Amino acid sequence: MVPAVPVENDSFLAACRGRTPARRPIWIMRQAGRYLPEYRAVRARVSFETLCRAPDLAAEVTVQPIERFDLDAAILFSDILTILDAFGIDVRFDPGPKIARPVRTPADVAALPEADLSACAYVYDAVGACVERLAGRVPLIGFAGAPLTVASYMIEGQGSRDFRHTKVLGWRDPEAFQHLLAQVARATAGYLERQVAAGAHALQVFESWGGALPPDVYRRIAWPHTRSVLEAALATGVPVVAFLRGGEGLLRAVAGDLPQGDLVIGIDWTVPMATAVSIVGPERVVQGNLDPMALFAPRGVLERLAGDVIAAAGPARGHVFNLGHGISKDTDPAQVAALVDYVHRS
Ligand code: CP3
């Protein structure tokens, strides 16, 4: 593994490792995106797919929020579905993802090739381009989707409210379902390792659709695959954030089986931070979990809500401030600047 480029602002990495940071670190899920006029200006010229596939442009957009705000980490501009290139699956964004030929049957699963991770070389190149452009200002977070979350898009062919096809495959053909999750998990481990080799200082694994299944079912059929991805990510030596979106139930279901090491638990906004800390235990570092809608509240209310999160995270080993899900595209950037400033002052 190439040693990562050292960073001037290491508050995020220190907090992730359970050390005392110079200040409380903050970054924002989807911090590079449509709420920024400079992002919309780039998108007026190129499609989202082109942006993800052009390392220089991806790096430009990754750094946009770092230029504008005093954030403590950058996250690679990409998508959790770019890994599908490794399986030869074509994804379009409109703006939500669409897959022409979903994976619905055991025959579809059997026909999937073993992942060719070189098909995602543009992602590792983008990591390298981001690290270069950041020039050691802040660390770069690489990322991937967790196996169930990625597989649900492969199976549904798009976003879903009810995850009907995913559940039907799981009930009708549990072996094919497990085979698919294991195959995605193996690919994801290699994909994350390559991002670290390209210079990523930390990794985040997004289990955005962990709430699709009842917590006990999630724990039995999906969590072992997510856990194996987290283990592989931790084995690279960088801190790893597991963003587990599935409410208090999901957190309770997996809390007793979290890997050891520099693992940060990303909390979704529906779980009160105090409850989350009591579930995962005070020896864990937590990330989150302000309601993204709080950025639409009057300044005083925004600060009170952010202050509540900070206070509730007090007993945890460490805290990385973030939203409890991605920032809305209608957010006023001035509110983000106010939040960043507030978090650093408190
Ligand atoms: O700044 C960052 O956080 C890095 C970039 C990033 C994107 N997607 C860019 C993006 C990251 C980390 C993701 C992860 C991602 N992608 C997740 C997990 C995070 C979560 O929200 O729970 C998921 C589920 C996806 C799949 C996906 N990609 C969806 C559902 C959509 C449509 C969403 C929407 O708001 O319309 C996308 C497209 C997408 N990914 C956009 C961006 C900036 C919008 C594309 C555009 O510019 O038109």
The predicted structure's pLDDT at residue 95: 87
The predicted structure's pLDDT at residue 1: 54
Cα 228 versus chain centre, distance: 16
Ligand 1 residue neighbourhood (C-beta within 6 Å): 29-34, 43, 48, 75, 77-81, 93, 95-97, 143, 159, 206, 208, 326
Q: Nearest to residue 73, comparing CAs of 5, 10, 6, 4?
A: 10
Give, using CA atoms, the residue closest to atom 8 of ligand 1. Answer: 79
Q: Pocket of ligand 1, candidates 51, 80, 98: which has the most ligand atoms within 8 Å of its Cβ, to mutate?
A: 80
The predicted structure's pLDDT at residue 97: 97
Q: Nearest to residue 27, comparing CAs of 139, 163, 188?
A: 139
Residue located via tokens 């055991």: 106
What is the DSSP secondary-structure string of 185-247?
A: HHHHHHHHHHHHHTT-SEEEEEETTGGGS-HHHIIIIIHHHHHHHHHHHHHTTS-EEEEE-SH
The predicted structure's pLDDT at residue 249: 98
Q: How many CA atoms lie within 13 A of 177 on its CB side?
A: 17
Diameter of the chain measured on Cα atoms: 56
Buried b vs exposed e over 100-130: b needs ≥16 C-beta within 10 Å? eebbbebebbeebeebebeebebbbbbbbbb
Is residue 2 within 8 A of residue 127, CB to CB? The reply is no
Residue located via tokens 């105090």: 274
Q: For helices 273-280 and 247-254, what crossing angle results, to 10°?
A: 10
The predicted structure's pLDDT at residue 4: 75
Phi, psi of 271 (to 5 degrees): -100, 125
Amino acid identity of residue 182, one-letter, is A
Residues labelled catalytic:
30, 34, 43, 79, 153
The predicted structure's pLDDT at residue 2: 54
As to burial, measured by CB atoms within 10 angstroms (0-12 exposed, 13-18 middle, 19+ buried), residue 225 is buried
The stretches in the chain having pLDDT less than 50 are none
**Prediction pTM value:** 0.97
What is the DSSP secondary-structure string of 244-266?
A: E-SHHHHHHHHGGGPPSSSEEEE
Could you tell me the domains of the chain? 11-345 (3.20.20.210)
Extract the tokens encoding 59: 């790096």
Do the strands 97-99 and 140-145 form a parallel or antiparallel pair, or are they unpaired? unpaired
d(CA 212, CA 195): 28
**What atom of ligand 1 comes closest to residue 204's alpha carbon?**
12
Give, using CA atoms, the residue closest to atom 31 of ligand 1. Answer: 96
Q: For helices 164-172 and 174-197, what crossing angle results, to 10°?
A: 120
Cα 313 versus chain centre, distance: 20
**What atom of ligand 1 comes closest to residue 206's alpha carbon?**
18
Q: For helices 121-134 and 174-197, what crossing angle results, to 10°?
A: 40
What is the DSSP secondary-structure string of 155-190?
A: HHSB--SS-HHHHHHHHH-HHHHHHHHHHHHHHHHH
